[in-house]
Amino acid sequence: PPESGVDNTYVHTLDRQYVFHSWAQQGSLDPMVIAGAEGCRVWDYLGRSYLDFSSQLVNTNIGHQHPKVVSAIQAQAASLCTIAPAHANLARGEAAKRIVTKAPAGFSKVFFTNAGADANENAIRMARLYTGRSKILSGYRSYHGNTGSAIAATGDWRRVPNEYASGHVHFFNPYLYRSEFWARNEEEECERALQHLRRVIECEGANAVAAILLETIPGTAGVLLPPKEYLQGVRKLADEFGIVLILDEVMAGFGRTGRWFAFEHYDMAPDLIVFAKGVNSGYVPAGGVIISEPISRYFDDHFFVGGLTYSGHPLAMAAIVATLDAMEAEGVVENADAMGNGPLAAGLQQLTERYAIIGDWRGVGVFHALELVSDPVYKTPLPGAEVLKLKQQLMENGLLVFTVENRIHVVPPCIVTAAEVEEGLAILDRVLKNYTASR
Ligand code: PLP
């Protein structure tokens, strides 16, 4: 322990007495204590270590405690900790330049926020100001954040108790395993999902729709890779009706899919790109919107009515610069591609073939979900309590994963090694084998 008297019990007790947690009924919590972390591992005060295949909240793309990022934050803290957003600052300019360089041609500026939700909030604001329209169309199977418009744009259940913002309309995004369109294959799913979206636009009044907001690959909703042609089809609909297309790359961006941006897999580009998490792996909170040329130019002579005290905070910006430079120099995105689409995908496919409880496996790069079912024919979702039991057993065996509803999300850092992939897969195999045998 770093300080005498500090142990798991002390930290747990402090937390339970004073800390109010996100998305939780406070009385029944039993948070895991984490004392430290490095690379793909975290550990507690007893020295119990875990392979972190959750990347925390799918954000530590560069792994924990990367020395170059840590020292860049230290150096920035020693020279300038904070500065108002109106001033020009070296770290902010360098961060914006690097982000624009990673984006496709036609993107010119970056607006920085504190995280993903307020990045979506501001992308929505930009689209409304730019088009003079108000409605925002987004997928039911999505999560966009927990501020006013971001939670109203969210499609999953967390929207409902938070519906304060207006002008949000939802549609069904593609999900072949549980098709809303009775589709039998990817082609039908794509065609019918696009026709459904066209009808939603027409019924809502195309002239009232400011933006279509989509996670390029819905993440928390289950790593729902869209059919190859779907996003191109959405792009065409947006162009046909003069609608701004916003892609939320908060979870999928900055290496997670084995590319800098997930939409690079789909040969298309949006008008606004929303990012956070992987841009600096969350070492200091940051997010933002990458703005395409026409929208950026529009605001040259139109006032942008938005801003945040910590927009482009120097510590976050220094972390972005160091993260992106290190990812580039160390081939981190290439590693996510090689490990994720190589041994990790092969191993998850084998597990899917071996265990009937895995009804569906979807993924790309280091972004995978195993959908668990109690009956593979009827695709009955495995009850949440059983998924938690499995999660607990995985932890007892030293593996941290991200679980949502009836799914295990296998989302290691982009720096994961072949040995770590093998170790993680072996734990999954062992736990699934024991679980299946005991049912
Ligand atoms: N958008 C997506 C796709 C996300 O996955 C998340 C968070 O998980 C958010 C937005 C919200 O980001 P934040 O929690 O940083 O506000």
pLDDT value of position 157 = 87
Please give the distance, rounded to the nearest whole angstrom, from the Cα atom of residue 145 to the centre of ligand 1. 5
For the CA of 120, the closest atom of ligand 1 is 10
Neighbours of 42 (CB within 10 A): 21
How far apart, in whole angstroms, are the C-alpha atoms of residue 391 and residue 404?
Answer: 10
Question: Which amino acid makes up residue 174?
Answer: P
In this prediction, residue 287 has a pLDDT band, given cuts at 50, 70 and 90, of: very high
Q: What are phi and psi of 353, to 5 degrees?
A: -70, -35
For the CA of 285, the closest atom of ligand 1 is 15
Structure tokens at 15: 């937390």
Please give the distance, rounded to the nearest whole angstrom, from the Cα atom of residue 409 to the centre of ligand 1. 16
pLDDT value of position 149 = 81
pLDDT over threshold 90, residue 245: yes
pLDDT over threshold 70, residue 66: yes
Tens digits of residue pLDDT in 131-171: 999 999 999 999 999 988 888 888 898 888 777 778 999 99
pLDDT value of position 159 = 85
pLDDT over threshold 60, residue 2: no
376 or 148: which leads in pLDDT: 376
pLDDT over threshold 90, residue 112: yes
Query: What does the mean pLDDT of the chain come to?
Result: 96
Distances (CA, A) of 403 to 340, 395, 406, 420: 19, 12, 8, 20
ipTM: 0.99
Please give the distance, rounded to the nearest whole angstrom, from the Cα atom of residue 63 to the centre of ligand 1. 18
Coil/strand/helix, residue 88: coil
Virtual CA dihedral for 422, 423, 428, 434, nearest 10 degrees? Answer: 120
Please give the distance, rounded to the nearest whole angstrom, from the Cα atom of residue 10 to the centre of ligand 1. 31
The radius of gyration of the chain from alpha carbons, rounded to an integer in Å, stands at 22
Distances (CA, A) of 302 to 11, 74, 201: 50, 38, 27
Is the beta carbon of 372 within 6 A of some atom in ligand 1? no
Mutate to test the pocket of ligand 1, among 54, 60, 144, 162 (most ligand atoms within 8 A of CB): 144
Domains parsed from the chain with CATH numbers: 32-65+331-438 (3.90.1150.10), 68-329 (3.40.640.10)
Structure tokens at 249: 């790359």
Query: What integer is the mean pLDDT of 295-308?
Result: 95
Query: What integer is the mean pLDDT of 239-258?
Result: 98
Virtual CA dihedral for 13, 18, 19, 23, nearest 10 degrees? Answer: 100
Residues 6+ away with beta carbon under 8 Å from 76? 91, 314, 315, 317, 318
Please give the distance, rounded to the nearest whole angstrom, from the Cα atom of residue 436 to the centre of ligand 1. 33
pLDDT value of position 3 = 64
Please give the distance, rounded to the nearest whole angstrom, from the Cα atom of residue 250 to the centre of ligand 1. 6
Is the beta carbon of 250 within 6 A of some atom in ligand 1? yes
Whose alpha carbon is nearest atom 10 of ligand 1? Answer: 144
Neighbours of 262 (CB within 10 A): 28
Query: What integer is the mean pLDDT of 299-305?
Result: 95
Tens digits of residue pLDDT in 349-359: 999 999 999 99
pLDDT value of position 150 = 81
How far apart, in whole angstroms, are the C-alpha atoms of residue 235 and residue 214?
Answer: 11
What one-character DSSP code corresponds to residue 313?
-
Is the beta carbon of 121 within 6 A of some atom in ligand 1? no
In this prediction, residue 1 has a pLDDT band, given cuts at 50, 70 and 90, of: very low
Is the beta carbon of 282 within 6 A of some atom in ligand 1? no
Query: What integer is the mean pLDDT of 108-133?
Result: 97
Please give the distance, rounded to the nearest whole angstrom, from the Cα atom of residue 156 to the centre of ligand 1. 13
Is the beta carbon of 360 within 6 A of some atom in ligand 1? no
Whose alpha carbon is nearest atom 7 of ligand 1? Answer: 145
